[in-house]
Chains A and B, each alone.
Chain A
C-alpha cells in the first residue's frame, strides 16, 4: 500500500440540472506530500473530495487512492483513508470517547485496542477533559478537533480534509494546522486539503492546485506559482478623483501590455524586474499627470496570484 493519489481526466456532471462540477481534472499527489486544492466556493473542491473518498461516482475518468481504484474498489480505499468533510460528522448524543471507540471498532480493532486508541487520540487533540461529556455540549472548535481525531483512528495513509478550518477562530485554526503539519512530517501521512484561504495553502502545502469553475487553472509549489506570474508586484492606489479605468489603459499601453489589473481601489502590475519597472511606471504617471496616493513594490501573495489566474475579483481580500 502506498499513500499516493492519481487522478486522470476526472469529470462529474450532476444528473439534476446537468451542472458539470468537475471538468477533466488530472493531478497526482506523491506519498507523504501535502497537497492543497485552492479555490472559491463552488469551484468543485468538495465534489472532487467526495469522488476521491468513495462517496460519489465520477461521470468519467479514473482515480486511484493508496493504489486502489476509487470507483471499483471503494471498500479497499475506505480502509486507507481518513476523511473530514466540511460538515463535521459526529453524533451529539455520544461522548467524545464513545464516538472514537465506535469508530475504532468499526475499523475492526478489538475492544481494548479501540479504547487505547481513543484515549491516545483524545490526548492528541486535547479533549481528554471533555472525553466523557456528550458531543452535543462541545464547542465548534472542539467538534472540529474531535472530527479530526476520528479520521486518524486507523492511521490512514491518506488524509482528506475538506476546508478543515472554515468557521474556526484563529487559535483553533492554528491548533489544526500544527496537528496537520505534525502528521505530515512525523507520520508521513499524505494530506489532501481543500481551502478557500490562500494563506492556509501557502503556509501548509508542498504543492497547490488552483481550481476554479471545475477546472484546474494552475499547479505548482507556492514558490513556482509566485514565480509564474512575475516575481514582483507593483501596487498603486490612485488619488481620489482619478479615473482608475483610464489609468489602467494608460499603464497597459505604456508597459507593453504588462499584466495590469484592477482590484478594488488598487491597481496591480505584475512584473519581472520590479525596480526597473517601478521607474517606468513612475514616468508614465508623471507624463500623464496622474496623482497617486500610494505606490508599493512587493512580492505577490497567493491572493494576488489567485486574482490574476482566475481573472475575477474575489469578493473581499483576506477574510
Chain B
C-alpha cells in the first residue's frame, strides 16, 4: 500500500472543509465585509458614475470587483489560517508522522480554501444580481470574473499558506493578512485611474497588481470582450501566483523537511 496522493488529498481536503464549516466565524465576517462593500459603496458612491469619465457605466458593475476581490482574498486566507491552527495544535506533526503524502498534507487546506473562495465569490455575485447587476458580456463574462477571482485567490492562498508554513504562528500569519488593505484600497478601488487625484496613489495603483485584476473584471462587466484589457488581469495573476506559489512550495518543503 504505497502512499496515494489522490486519496490523501481527498481525505485532507474533506477534513478541512468540515472544520471550516464548524467554525462559521472563520468565514462569515469576511463575507459580511465583502457584501458590505458592495451595498454601502453602491448606495453611497453610485452618484459619481454620472461623471463623464465613467462613460455612463453602472457603478454597481464598477464596484463589484472590489467586493469580489475582498471575498476571494478572505477565502484564500482561510488556507493559511487552517495551516497555522494545525501547526499550533500539533495536528500538523501528527500528520507528518503518518505515511500520508507530504503534498496532500499541504494541499488539503489550500484546496479547501479555494472552495471557500469559490462559494464566497458566487454569493457576492448573486447579491449583485439581486441589486440589479447587468453584465455586458452575459454568462460568459460572469464565468470570466469567477476565473479571475479564483486565480487571484490562488495567488493569495499561496502567499497566506507560505507565511503560515514559514512561521507556524498565528500572530505572524495574522500580520501577514494586513497586506489585504493596501492590496484592495491602494488601487482604482472607487474611481477609475484617471480620476485618482493624489500622485502617490496613482503610483501605488499602477504598481498594485489588484488594479489589473479590477480592470479585467470591469472590462467584461461593463465594456465587453476587450481582449487586451482582459489579459491585464490574467498577466497579473500569472506573475503573482508564480511568485507566491513558489514561496509556498519552498516554505512547505521546509516545514515538512527533517533538517
Please report the number of residue pairs spanning A and B whose Cβ atoms sit closer than 8 angstroms.
Answer: 72
A56 touches B94 (CB 8 A): no
A91 touches B86 (CB 8 A): yes
A79: chain B residues within 8 A (beta carbon): 99
Does A97 lie at the interface of the complex (its beta carbon under 8 Å from any beta carbon of B)? no
Most buried by A among B18, B86, B92, B94: B94
Tell me, in angstroms, the Cα distance from A78 to B96 when the chains sit together.
Answer: 9
B91 touches A105 (CB 8 A): no
For residue A147, give the distance in angstroms from its CB to the closest CB of chain B. Answer: 8
Interface mask (A77-106 → B, CB under 8 Å = 1, otherwise 0): 011010101011111111000100011011
Tell me which of B8, B11, B89, B99 contacts A78 (CB under 8 A): B99
For residue B108, give the distance in angstroms from its CB to the closest CB of chain A. Answer: 11
A107: chain B residues within 8 A (beta carbon): 98-99
For residue A318, give the distance in angstroms from its CB to the closest CB of chain B. Answer: 28
Does B23 lie at the interface of the complex (its beta carbon under 8 Å from any beta carbon of A)? yes
Interface mask (A296-307 → B, CB under 8 Å = 1, otherwise 0): 000000000000
Interface residues in B78-101 (C-beta closer than 8 Å to A): 86, 89-100
Residues A57 and B258 in contact in the complex (CB < 8 Å), given A78-B97, A79-B99, A106-B100: yes
Does A150 lie at the interface of the complex (its beta carbon under 8 Å from any beta carbon of B)? yes
Does B1 lie at the interface of the complex (its beta carbon under 8 Å from any beta carbon of A)? yes
Does A108 lie at the interface of the complex (its beta carbon under 8 Å from any beta carbon of B)? yes
Residues A106 and B22 in contact in the complex (CB < 8 Å), given A88-B90, A90-B94, A91-B89: no
Consensus secondary structure, chain A interface: loop
Does A54 lie at the interface of the complex (its beta carbon under 8 Å from any beta carbon of B)? yes
Does B3 lie at the interface of the complex (its beta carbon under 8 Å from any beta carbon of A)? yes
Interface mask (B218-259 → A, CB under 8 Å = 1, otherwise 0): 000000000000000000000000000000000000000011
A15: chain B residues within 8 A (beta carbon): 259
Closest to B2 in A: A75
Does A55 lie at the interface of the complex (its beta carbon under 8 Å from any beta carbon of B)? yes
B11 touches A89 (CB 8 A): no
Most buried by B among A55, A89, A134: A89
B96: chain A residues within 8 A (beta carbon): 55
Closest to B90 in A: A89
Tell me which of B1, B91, B93 contacts A108 (CB under 8 A): B1
Tell me, in angstroms, the Cα distance from A106 to B94 when the chains sit together.
Answer: 11
Tell me, in angstroms, the Cα distance from A57 to B258 when the chains sit together.
Answer: 5
Does A74 lie at the interface of the complex (its beta carbon under 8 Å from any beta carbon of B)? yes
A55 touches B97 (CB 8 A): yes
B93 touches A90 (CB 8 A): no
Interface mask (B140-183 → A, CB under 8 Å = 1, otherwise 0): 00000000000000000000000000000000000000000000
Most buried by A among B22, B93, B98, B259: B98
Interface residues in B7-59 (C-beta closer than 8 Å to A): 8, 11, 15, 18-19, 22-23
Does A53 lie at the interface of the complex (its beta carbon under 8 Å from any beta carbon of B)? yes
Tell me, in angstroms, the Cα distance from A54 to B96 when the chains sit together.
Answer: 9
B93 touches A89 (CB 8 A): yes
Tell me which of B3, B4, B90, B259 contacts A85 (CB under 8 A): B90
Most buried by B among A103, A107, A108: A108
A53 touches B97 (CB 8 A): yes
A85 touches B258 (CB 8 A): no
Residues A57 and B259 in contact in the complex (CB < 8 Å), given A78-B98, A108-B1: yes
Q: Which 6 A-B pairs have the closest CB atoms?
A: A89-B94, A89-B90, A93-B19, A57-B258, A87-B90, A108-B1
Besides A83-B97, A89-B97, 5 other A-B contacts (C-beta < 8 A):
A85-B94, A91-B19, A103-B98, A134-B22, A150-B94
